[in-house]
Structure 1
Amino acid sequence: MRTTQFLLASAALSAIAGCSTISGWFHGAPEAPSAETLAGTLAETAKPALAVTVHDGEFAEIQQFVTPGGVSVWLVSEPSIPIVAVQMAWKAGTASDPAGAEGLSELVTYSMNEGAGDLDSLGFQTAMEDLNMSFSCGAGAEWTSCSVSSLTENAPAAMALVATAFAAPRFDEGPFERFLREEEIGLQTRETNPNYLAWRTIAQSLYPDHPFARETTAESLANLTADMAREHMRTLMTRDRLIVTAVGAVTPEELAPLIDEVAAGLPETSSVAPVAPVDLASVPVARVVVDLPQPQSLVRFIGPGIDRANPDFFPAFVLNYTVGGGGFESRLMKTLRVVKGLTYGISTSLDPNPSMLTWSGGGQTKNESAGEFIAEIKSELIKFVEGGVAEQELADAKAYLTGSYPLGFDSNAKIAGQLMMVRQENLGVDYFDRRNALVTAVTLDDVNRVSKTYLDPARYSFFVVGQPQGME
């Protein structure tokens, strides 16, 4: 790690602020300043110092700094590609929706690029098209996020447009009504969606009173208003909870004023209740069948997972590849598809989210073979418990998990997403350098110990959506 000092010019802040009238960037107005022009302006007037800590890692050189406005940023400067990708995230999501107003956070994020300031929805979309940029937001259970991507030369104007979206979102009637129509269609189609029905049944069976189990309904949609969305946006998106990652042809001194302009329109803070973790270990195992007239049955199984801080996590991560995370290289796929012909596909995943640690999996099979399908899944899990993993299986898993890892860094947007994941999960700026070594360090004794502890079929609840036959 090394610390360097970059200079921020107050004149740059004035220059950007002077361009924040969005209409000034379009339809014959002067062009947005290029990255070179902005850098030159910054170099002319040396004012406050911006402390930048640089982690020179194997996968990327990550520059960490706090903007003059107080926003924490991780940046990977990549001058060879003239594109800037920015991700923003706040620790608050759909679990914060008031009871009876489920869908409110989704309304907020849906509306963020549907008009702001003097621009209605069409005007905002036209402005983005003129700038050849993208801007969108989304809400998960615990996080709200927005992403921006533009050419470097258009970055000041693009971020100024985003700043207007945060400072003066419109929440006009047209987009609001469109959101409601789309949600109402979703309410209808989800009743025949086996994946959604499986999720609902799992939630209602294992954690029915938890915020993660709540779902949007016709009643909750009817309670929503544009004013509620405007107010809730100020709860979700605040300066004190904002974290930013960015990748592209931009330097800290160029990026900092752009981030501060965006954050300037947000409230300083808000009160959001923390989400209590779901404890699957205390839930009795059960098999639940949801009747759905269709030729196939969807089978899902879910059990308690492992926290990243647990020394068993990386052995379990490697083991999961062999169980069901490795496609045709996984045992469940080889046995249940290739040998038994019971499914086109089956997979497993390990989720280290501290709020809901799970090890889960699933696949589809003909209704007539549903009972056999479940029996074979349990049989394969028992084989892991009793016999563990072979040396070659372990070697193959580690080779794939380490060799494929760089593929997650082949674009600016992917790198920004990887950086954000590390920030959200508090893995440390050196995680990218440590990750492959942690995988390589996993031994056969490690994975076989974890197999015995975590793959016992008795730890898993099974859920079936369809009209299964041959069930015990």
Structure 2
Amino acid sequence: MVTMALSLLSADAAHSQSNRITEVTSPGGIKAWLVHDTTLPLIAVEFAFIGGASQDGKDLPGLANLTASLLDEGAGTLDAEAFQRALADHAVELHFDAGRDDVRGSLRTLSDNRDKAFELLRVAVSEPRFDTEAVERIRAAQMAMLRRRSTEPNSIANERWFALAFPGHPYGRPVDGTLESMPRISRDDIAGFAKRSLARSNLRVAVVGDIDAAELGKRLDATFGALPATATLTPVANVTPQKIGTVDVIPLDVPQSVVVMGTGGLERRDPDFIPAFVLNHILGGSAFSSRLFKEVREARGLAYSVYSYQVALSHTGLWFAGTATKNERAGESISIITDEFRKILKDGPSQTELDEAKSYLTGSYALRFDTSSKVAGQLLQIQLDELGIDYIDKRNALITAVTLDDLKRVAGRLATARDALTVVVGKPQGLSGG
């Protein structure tokens, strides 16, 4: 167990209310992390099945996403309309979505409605119907979304970046699929994905709210116990991004160029991830005090927003920066961002910058736990990252312990981040091919 702060009402409550994270194992062997809290008559459940869009297959990108979108569109004896009406009548929130590494679900219910809520969740994951009407309706909605995104610069840039960085790898395929792949996905493909991917072996669960360990254990078996014992997942290779140091321009008649710059980073379980996290905060992770903000927006007025961030996928670590700027200033903006990346990796930050970053990152951590759903989401992510049930207690101490020497060591390991794969969508000036 580990003591944590849980705020459901106010900032002051976060300091006065102490709760325990308990690892619950059901009679059938299903595990979950629980924070039992009776402050409000609510129960929040966050769960994930490891696998996600990495299991789509090269010819069917979008399969995981389409499957996830259909899980609450009819299950058991209820067709899509009846299922959605049951959710609404009992004030139950149930959502599913797919990412590159997992399919996630979220349940939120009033305590008095828990029986109905958990029953609807049970049939959604173990008895989805995938009726023809629902499949075609959701497919049509997905394709409409893809058509809209085909003209959105940010979507175009991000999709192209992953396609160039990971050719032939599952991460290079678009999670939401393509206009070509979506019509090819059959009901059998969808049902097959659910059968292979939704299993007890790759399930992770976090629960927060008005439910105790004994009850949760029984409900875990009742809700998930009918799932296959073991998922049938295709192994995914570890990978590093390709095309580093190149610039790809996608012409689009828009007044601003969208810039996505990405390079190799550290995986979440790497011992140096926390120092790298602090380093990124100083570079571009802070909205108003980062180096990129000061140089790109304040000093030169090149963009309203500029940022950098880390992405820790299951099989690679990445470091991104991005902005949107006038076409005629795109080359200058990219040059400044590149210079700031190289400068911080060569010289490191100052002690003042490090102290300010640590103060902000430790002080703001409690904001991730100000609702039951946020707490459950954090506990789920900690499980997926395999950081240990005591991570919340350790996290701020890990931040505080970071030194300038740590940042220098990390900068050496991230030497390849001096260059990036850059994708620009727009009519940029000052670039080769722009």
CA distance 1:382–1:98, change in 2 (3 Å): closer
Q: 1:424 aligns with which of 366, 369, 384?
A: 384
Aligned-pair CA distance for 1:374: 1.2
Report the TM-score when normalising by structure 2: 0.92
CA distance 1:456–1:118, change in 2 (3 Å): closer
Question: Could you tell me which amino acid in structure 1 is paired with residue 54 of structure 2?
Answer: A
1:221 equivalent to 2:182? Answer yes
Aligned-pair CA distance for 1:219: 3.2
Query: Which stretch has the larger CA shift, 109-118 or 68-77?
Result: 109-118
Q: 1:415 aligns with which of 350, 375, 387?
A: 375
Give the corresponding residue for 1:290: 250
Aligned-pair CA distance for 1:329: 0.7
Give the corresponding residue for 1:49: none
**Do the aligned partners of 1:61 and 1:76 also contact (CA within 8 Å) in 2?**
yes
**Do the aligned partners of 1:382 and 1:456 also contact (CA within 8 Å) in 2?**
no
Query: d(CA) in 2 for partners of 1:136 and 1:311?
Result: 33
**Do the aligned partners of 1:87 and 1:245 also contact (CA within 8 Å) in 2?**
yes
Aligned-pair CA distance for 1:58: 5.9
Give the corresponding residue for 1:50: none
Question: Could you tell me which amino acid in structure 2 is paired with residue 180 of structure 1?
Answer: R
Aligned-pair CA distance for 1:228: 2.6
Query: d(CA) in 2 for partners of 1:453 and 1:142?
Result: 25
Give the corresponding residue for 2:337: 377
Query: d(CA) in 2 for partners of 1:311 and 1:117?
Result: 45
Give the corresponding residue for 1:467: 427
Aligned-pair CA distance for 1:440: 0.3
1:102 equivalent to 2:61? Answer yes
Aligned-pair CA distance for 1:186: 2.2
Q: How many residues align?
A: 418
Query: d(CA) in 1 for partners of 2:28 and 2:206?
Result: 16
Q: How does 1:16-415 map to 2 (within 5 A)?
A: 54-57=1-4, 60-215=19-174, 216-280=177-241, 283-415=243-375
Query: d(CA) in 2 for partners of 1:457 and 1:93?
Result: 28
Deviation string, structure 1 residues 255-314 (Cα, Å, up to 9, x no partner): 12222111133222231112112212x654211111111011111111110134444322
Deviation string, structure 1 residues 104-130 (Cα, Å, up to 9, x no partner): 212211111111222111111111112
**Do the aligned partners of 2:264 and 2:417 also contact (CA within 8 Å) in 1?**
no
Deviation string, structure 1 residues 294-343 (Cα, Å, up to 9, x no partner): 01111111111013444432221111111000011101001110110000
Give the corresponding residue for 2:15: none
1:434 equivalent to 2:394? Answer yes
**Do the aligned partners of 2:197 and 2:232 also contact (CA within 8 Å) in 1?**
no
Question: Could you tell me which amino acid in structure 1 is paired with residue 354 of structure 2?
Answer: L
Deviation string, structure 1 residues 128-182 (Cα, Å, up to 9, x no partner): 1121111111111110111111011211221012212233222122221111211
Query: d(CA) in 2 for partners of 1:383 and 1:161?
Result: 54
CA distance 1:341–1:452, change in 2 (3 Å): farther
**Do the aligned partners of 1:58 and 1:433 also contact (CA within 8 Å) in 2?**
no
**Do the aligned partners of 2:330 and 2:429 also contact (CA within 8 Å) in 1?**
yes
Report the TM-score when normalising by structure 1: 0.84
Query: Which stretch has the larger CA shift, 379-388 or 234-243?
Result: 379-388
Query: d(CA) in 2 for partners of 1:231 and 1:386?
Result: 50
CA distance 1:308–1:111, change in 2 (3 Å): closer
Query: d(CA) in 2 for partners of 1:229 and 1:145?
Result: 16
Query: d(CA) in 2 for partners of 1:206 and 1:436?
Result: 33
Question: Could you tell me which amino acid in structure 1 is paired with residue 233 of structure 2?
Answer: V
- SS of the residue 2:150 aligns to: helix
**Do the aligned partners of 1:401 and 1:439 also contact (CA within 8 Å) in 2?**
yes
Query: Which stretch has the larger CA shift, 390-399 or 183-192?
Result: 183-192
Query: d(CA) in 1 for partners of 2:82 and 2:416?
Result: 57
- SS of the residue 1:218 aligns to: coil
- SS of the residue 1:219 aligns to: coil
Aligned-pair CA distance for 1:361: 0.8
Aligned-pair CA distance for 1:76: 0.4
Gaps of 5+ in 2: 7-18
**Do the aligned partners of 2:56 and 2:62 also contact (CA within 8 Å) in 1?**
yes
**Do the aligned partners of 1:314 and 1:439 also contact (CA within 8 Å) in 2?**
yes
Identify the structure with bigger relative contact order (alpha carbons < 8 Å, sequence gap 6+): 2
Aligned-pair CA distance for 1:205: 2.0
The percentage of aligned residue pairs carrying the same residue is: 37
CA distance 1:387–1:92, change in 2 (3 Å): closer
Query: d(CA) in 2 for partners of 1:375 and 1:314?
Result: 27
**Do the aligned partners of 1:89 and 1:146 also contact (CA within 8 Å) in 2?**
yes
Please identify the structure whose Cα radius of gyration is greater: 1
Query: d(CA) in 2 for partners of 1:332 and 1:377?
Result: 7
**Do the aligned partners of 2:338 and 2:419 also contact (CA within 8 Å) in 1?**
no
Query: d(CA) in 1 for partners of 2:343 and 2:186?
Result: 54
